[in-house]
Structure 1
Amino acid sequence: MASDTEFIDLLERRIKLSIHTTAPARVISYNESKRTADVELLFMSVDKDNNAEKYKVIQGVPVQGMRYKISESFKAAISSLIPTEGSIDGSNASVKIDNAIEFTPFLKKDDVVVVSFAERALDNLNGTQTFDPEFHRTHDIDDCIVLGVLF
């Protein structure tokens, strides 16, 4: 009976190690115009003989951006204003923003980031259109997204 238990325990471990959810990673390079990064997972993989090895570098990983809307005006000190006539005092200004502000991600080589792995393959993702993933991959390292920087 002990060998049956050992087999089940090993099978369970192999299954769990093949399902990727969230992990820390290191930025190898970042393409700001495409908002994609090449990353290396900081977790190591374990083969069937329990030998630890690095995962491959994951290329072209989409990087999550953020869009915020500021609903109220706020006080701000504004510097470096250049007047066209007269003078400007930006030390006691009030700022009101009518539209949403989109923050573009900025990553540097060797930043430590958090990556998450999609439930299904992202190959056919195209904007907001629903799609058939086509492939049978689930929680695969090739379907990851950079969620943000770990400081």
Structure 2
Amino acid sequence: MTNTTEFFRTLQQGVLVNLNTAMPCKVLAYDEEKRMAKIEPLFMIKETGEEPAKLSPIENVPVLFQKYRVNGSEPQNYEPFIEPTDTVLVVFCQRAIDEAMKGNIIYPGTARMFDIHDAVIVGVF
């Protein structure tokens, strides 16, 4: 294998290892009124030559709710029931979600992509 091929394989692996898409997390605390949780990622990280390490807890993670219309009735919101110690599935948005959560269109000028702080809880395992 050439040095160039090895370089690009290493680069690709480094990019993929640091790309956050989805992971299971444990709920540490949940504010039902605000629908925000504090979570602990259940995956560890490992740098070459280092011991595996836990990821830090993530604060203020929004929890999705569902909106349904049943048999032609008025739409109703169904809020999740989440408790500390529940294991949830968390997705990480492609871009920063701060403004999107307010319904604003976002200019993708931010360098924040697939960041662990743009987590959203989508369900309970």
> Which TM-score tier does this pair reach, normalised by the shorter chain?
0.7 to 0.9
Q: What is the rounded CA distance, in whole Å, between the counterparts of 2:66 and 2:33 in structure 1?
A: 15
Where do 5+ consecutive residues of structure 1 fail to align? 73-97
What residue is the counterpart of 2:7 in the other structure? Answer: 7
Which residue number in structure 2 is paired with residue 40 of structure 1?
Answer: 40
Name the TM-score, length of structure 2 as normaliser.
0.88
Counterpart of 2:112? 137
Of the structure 1 ranges 20-29 and 134-143, higher mean CA displacement relative to structure 2 is found in 134-143
| 1:105 alignment partner in structure 2 | 80
Partner of 1:63: 63
How many residues of Structure 1 are paired with residues of Structure 2 in the alignment? 125
User: In the TM superposition, what are the counterparts of 1:19-98 in structure 2 within 5 Å?
Assistant: 19-49=19-49, 51-71=51-71, 98=73
- Between Structure 1 and Structure 2, whose CA radius of gyration is higher? 1
What is the aligned partner in structure 2 of residue 95 from structure 1?
none
Unaligned stretches of 5+ residues in structure 2: none
Query: What's the Cα RMSD here?
Result: 1.9
Identity level (%): 31
Check the 8 A contact 2:87/2:124 in 1, yes or no. Answer: yes
Moved more, 25-34 or 118-127: 118-127
